[in-house]
Amino acid sequence: MIGIIGAMKIEVEAIRAKTENKETRVVGSIEFVSGTLNGVEIVSAVCGIGKTAAAMCTEAMIVVYKPDIIINTGVGGTLTNELSVCDVAVADCVCQHDYDLTPIGEEPGFVPAVNMVKIPCDPRAVKIISECMENDGVKIKTGPIASGDQFIASREAKDRIVGTFGAIACEMEGASIGQVCRVNNVPFAVVRAISDCADGEASMTYTDFLPKAADAAARMIESAVTKL
């Protein structure tokens, strides 16, 4: 079974519309929809925005559905000139740009629960997803994706994240999903269709391009599930 998590309804509604043999179950406050997509068993959930909501959803999905892999899909801001709106960032690892234990001697982003800064994504999933995107004519870039409980919309914040972590995109859920998956020994992947440039115009661009970016992310899931 493949688990699919998006922060917002718009990020998973296209996948759910194509899911067959649907069954719905509510765990806590989260609605899980299971069924088949292109003949593959999946379960999808809208976790809500932010790291805590994403972590809660991931743990519940793992405990109840025991997925073989979890894919976190959705939209994010680009941190590189190589990705523009509706291009796709595929994480090879994830990190938390707002996790700061530097006052006690740790490096920025170090998470004691997993004893690392950058949590590696599943290499096989990264390869398959990247190939699916390229075959579909989508421009992609692979690299670190950084998460934090902030909507990044300033050059200063953008430069800090790039300078510290070398990230190619930023968002608000992927690294917490990665942390929960790592602790539970569940492979995971994080994919973000670019909705904005994480700069002074980010909020305007995000509003305009969110539906297009979310649709691009959903198409990726549909094409990748049969190969995963």
How do residues 149-183 score in pLDDT, each as one tens digit? 998 888 899 999 999 999 999 999 999 999 999 99
**Cβ atoms 110, 92 nearer than 8 A:** no
Amino acid at 219: R
What is the predicted pLDDT for the residue at 201? 59
CA 170, 7, 64 angle in degrees (round to 5)? 125
What is the predicted pLDDT for the residue at 96? 98
Q: Which domains does the chain have, with CATH numbers?
A: 2-224 (3.40.50.1580)
Residues marked as catalytic: 11, 196
Q: Decide which of 11 and 206 is more confident.
A: 11
Among 70-79, 127-136, 201-210, which stretch is predicted with the lowest mean pLDDT?
Answer: 201-210
What is the predicted pLDDT for the residue at 220? 78
What is the predicted pLDDT for the residue at 78? 93
Rounded mean pLDDT, 71-80: 92
**Cβ atoms 161, 153 nearer than 8 A:** no
